[in-house]
Each structure stands twice: as C-alpha cells, then as structure tokens.
Amino acid sequence: MGQVRFATVQDLLQAYPMARHDVGKADAGKPSLDFLEQATDARNWHQAVSFCAYLLPRRVAVAWGCRSLRRMFDHFDANDSRSLNFAETWVRQSDEQSRNKALAVGNANDPEQPATWLALAAGWSGGSVVPAEFAPVEAKPDQAARAVRAALLIGLCRLSRDSRDRIMTACLEDGIQLARGEPRSAR
C-alpha cells in the first residue's frame, strides 16, 4: 500500500488554497482518505470529486478522470474521443510533446464537453499553457486538478438520476484506491 499524498485535509488545503473554495466546508484535521470516504458515503459528489481531483498527483488525476468519464458514458463523438485519446496518451507518455498535443486539442474543442477538460488537464499539468509562439506562461499548481474536477462535474450533471449514485460511487472508489496506491479495479 502506498502513502497518501496529503495526510490530512489541512495538508491539501495548504498546498492548494483554491481547493478550499472547490471542496467547501471541510474538517481540516480529518485524515484525507477518511474525508474522501465520508463525502463519497454521503453522496456529496461535488465535494468528493473536488477533493479527489486535488488529492491525486496530476498524472494520476487525469487518468482517474479519463476512466471515470468512460465509466459515465459509453459513446463519445469524434471530438470527445480525440480529447480523451490525447489525455490518455499523455498519461501513458508524460512528455512535453504529448502534453502540448493535449493542450492544443483541449483549446480547440468545445468547453461544454467534459472530455475537453480532461485534455486541458493534461495540457495544464506543467510547462507553458500558451502556444510556443508566445512567451511562456507556466501552469498554476492547481490548474490540472481544477480541470479534472470540471470534467467530472460536467459529466455528473449529464448522468441520469437512476444511474448517478451507482456510477459516481464506482468512480470515487476507484479514486480512493488510487490515492491509497492500490491496484486499479476492473471497470
């Protein structure tokens, strides 16, 4: 079993001040995994998704976001498939070329689509977030987490009421396993 990236909620909030706004009310002294499990058990999806997106390292968070989106929906149009594929390519091969391709696809696609945000999350994982012809603008530390969060919350809004809790529970259980460093479960 791996070590959790942030032992307590306070540790995470100190590392990512914007998380306080995204996560909402939180017991700062609570162990991170206890907090995430409690939010999941309470079906507080916004809080659980937000916290998990920050808790996981960037590359793992993007992988989790891609897997979660694929769990939410069976079919994607060509642009969404392209966005997901570029984000997943960056997860497998986290080099600058893959990151820049994901960033370009994310910037070109519809911001109302959750897959676009996952491509942006990969693109915002580090390095410059503007095209090469401009002076570099470094990604903010929380930018990838916020994009993963946006992707999954957009997806959540599109789930049918009768499948929402089942799908989101599975997504968050996967995120908890990743945070613990446990092997990934099957879809």
Our measurement of the distance from residue 134's CA atom to the centroid of its chain's CA atoms, rounded to an integer in Å, reads: 27
Predicted local confidence at residue 185, as pLDDT: 52
Tens-binned pLDDT, residue by residue, of the chain (187 aa)? 456 899 999 999 999 999 999 999 999 999 999 999 999 999 999 999 999 999 999 999 999 999 999 999 999 999 999 999 999 999 999 999 999 999 999 999 999 999 999 999 999 999 999 887 889 999 999 999 999 999 999 999 999 999 999 999 999 999 999 999 876 654 4
SS3 of the chain: helix, strand, coil, percent, to 5: 65, 0, 35
The model's pTM is: 0.94
Residue 133 φ then ψ, to 5°: -75, -10
Predicted local confidence at residue 56, as pLDDT: 97
Q: Which amino acid is at 113?
A: Q
Dig out the tokens for 68 from the structure: 């979660």
> Can you give the residue ranges of every domain in the chain?
9-180
User: Burial, 16: exposed, middle or buried (Cβ in 10 Å; 0-12, 13-18, 19+)?
Assistant: buried
Predicted local confidence at residue 33, as pLDDT: 97
Dig out the tokens for 43 from the structure: 């079906």
Q: Which amino acid is at 18?
A: M
**DSSP characters over 116-141:** HHHHHHHHTSSSBSS-TTS---BPPT
C-alpha distances in Å from residue 72, one per residue of 23, 26, 150, 178:
22, 27, 14, 18
Dig out the tokens for 163 from the structure: 């499948």
Dig out the tokens for 129 from the structure: 């977030």
CB 143 within 8 A of CB 184: no
